[in-house]
Amino acid sequence: MIHHPAGYVNSQLPFRLQRAALSLFLFAFVCVPAFAKDDVKPISEDAKSLVKQGDKMIRKGDFSGAEQMFKRAVEVRPNDPEIKLKLA
């Protein structure tokens, strides 16, 4: 068994804690969002797709259908001024 001075063990402890904390931090920021993406679709993607559908309907001349798409997009993102402008 190797005998180390007490100062050696104490000086290594903070480094080990820092390394463990950094590892946990990186795991939380890298791995957890990667797993969460499969379960939850971002709200902005839903609103974007509704706006795109509404824009297509306008190009085809279906204004009432476009209005319905924009109203649904406003329900998803009620504070988005660009969607409200399209609805106007």
pTM: 0.49
Looking at per-residue pLDDT, the higher value among 13 and 20 belongs to 20
At 17, the amino acid letter reads: L
Instruction: Give the model confidence (pLDDT) of 18-70 as tens digits.
Output: 787 767 666 666 655 555 544 444 445 688 899 999 999 999 999 999 999 99
Helix axes 43-60, 63-76, angle to 10 degrees: 170
Q: Are 69 and 50 in contact (CB under 8 A)?
A: yes
Long-range CB pairs of 39-43, under 8 A, 24+ apart, other chains included = 43/76, 43/77
